[in-house]
Chain A
Amino acid sequence: MILKNSLQKAGGYKKTVIPVIQTDKRFSKGSYIYKNIIVPKIRSNYTFKDRLSDIRVRLGFKRMSYSIKPGLYAIGSPDENSDVIVTANYLLTINKIRKKLTDFNCWVIVLDTKGVNVWCAAGKGTFGTNELIKKISSSPIQKIIKHNTLILPQFGAVGIDAFEVQKKTGFKIKYGPVRIDDLVEYKNNNYKKDNKMKTVTFNFFERFEVTPLELIFSTKYLLSIIAVLTLFGIFKKDFQTVLNIGFIPVFSGVITGTILVPLMLPFIPFKFFSLKGVLLGFIVSFFLTLLIPQILLPLILITVPLSGFTAMNFTGSTPFTNVSGVKLEVKYFTPVFIVWLAAGIIFTIYKLFN
């Protein structure tokens, strides 16, 4: 049996008599039997617990441990004429599918992208031609369906050579809508994409969704700085100075670059994210100086470059930056920020001991 063979390859079940379907109870509920083939089912309803899981992923808490097992799944009660969609084993995507395809019947091929979303995985090759060919060959899908079409998310095109897949497996690839939200409408529209289905947006809410991770990620690096500053404060018994020339500049810089810049992105002048960060860093410094006049210099030396650097790192979270532009930013601004911050650190240390 094909399923048994693929399980043996995947998990080393060398002496299995009855195939053991490893279903993840979070996502799958039981099995679906069609043409004497057992396929795990993806639970196609979205519960409150799922919503909490999504929030946890957005906050960066155990992101990777939430990935679903790759392979073939059924949603609803599909048959030999039902659509076959392909996706990544990223929790947010799987939960989106369950939320949007509640009354839909289809087969789902989940590729092993190591818990990463379609777009990033396609960019790095894991949502790739070879992985798709492997999953098609090792799953019973060819025995199940009558047609030979696979629907892929549009973003998957970055990693998939459609003609190569067709040559090696006989399956034709249709690049469907950008968002799974539009899949049902896409099907009802005779598998034709209208403008809405092709458009990639990055509105305020979408930017807000990816912001927490940036902040939490930066905070991990900041913890060492916070620890050192706290030690200084304890040693010198002068927390006021540590606050003014240490904590406030560092936090305001990171908050500006990881939250303010992303949220206000389209409204900030300059194309380069580093410059957006620097500009907002200066503006935030200006307002903070009105409140605490004596911290102007630490703000300029620490807040502004930190804001610029963290803003520059947001380039990877957007769908509209290009490779050559980001390369330029990284090449020219990184050394500037390093020197700038070094000056700020030297100044801070000097002030702490005088």
Chain B
Amino acid sequence: MKLKYYSKKISLNYNKDKCIGCGFCVEVCPREVFNIFESKAVIENKDLCIECGACAKNCPAKAISVDAGVACAYAMLTSKNGECSCGDGGCC
């Protein structure tokens, strides 16, 4: 059972023309958003995306873009740009 969250504003964007079919997006995604179909990546479950940014970071063709960040209310409340301060004497 895949746990679901509010997903109407997911910022994930993918340009199929740039894709070279390396499969890294499938490899790194913790939510199984991507799959490979006919040598190109396809977005199968956009509503499961957590905007972690692993796919965009590891795409050699820069075909993926996303407004990545930390989905943590505490980080958003305590820092200007929603950055996590765990380990800097911060929350954790």
Contacts and interface: CB of A to CB of B under 8 A. Distances in A.
A264 to B, nearest CB: 13
Contact of B72 (A155, A158, A316, A334): A316
Contacts of B64: none
B87 A324 contact: no
A198 B9 contact: no
A61 interface: no
Interface string A176-199: 001000000000000000000010
Q: Binding site of A, secondary structure by majority: helix, strand, loop or mixed?
A: helix
Contacts of B54: 122, 157-158
A91 B10 CA distance: 33
**Chain A interface bracket (under 10, 10 to 19, 20 to 34, 35 or more):** 35 or more
B63 interface: no
Given A178-B30, A316-B73, A316-B75, A120 B5 contact: no
Q: Could you say which interface size class chain B belongs to?
A: 35 or more
B44 to A, nearest CB: 14
A252 interface: no
Nearest to A163: B60
Given A123-B52, A320-B31, A322-B71, A161 B57 contact: yes
Contacts of B60: 163
B58 interface: yes
A326 B92 contact: no
A313 interface: yes
A281 B92 CA distance: 26
Interface string A131-175: 000000000000000000000001101111111000000000001
Contacts of A272: 6
B24 A162 contact: yes
A112 B67 CA distance: 26
B76 to A, nearest CB: 5
26 contacts: A63-B92, A114-B88, A115-B87, A116-B86, A122-B54, A123-B52, A124-B87, A154-B27, A154-B30, A157-B58, A159-B57, A161-B58, A313-B73, A319-B30, A319-B50, A320-B2, A321-B5, A323-B69, A324-B67, A325-B6, A325-B7, A325-B71, A326-B71, A326-B76, A330-B73, A334-B77
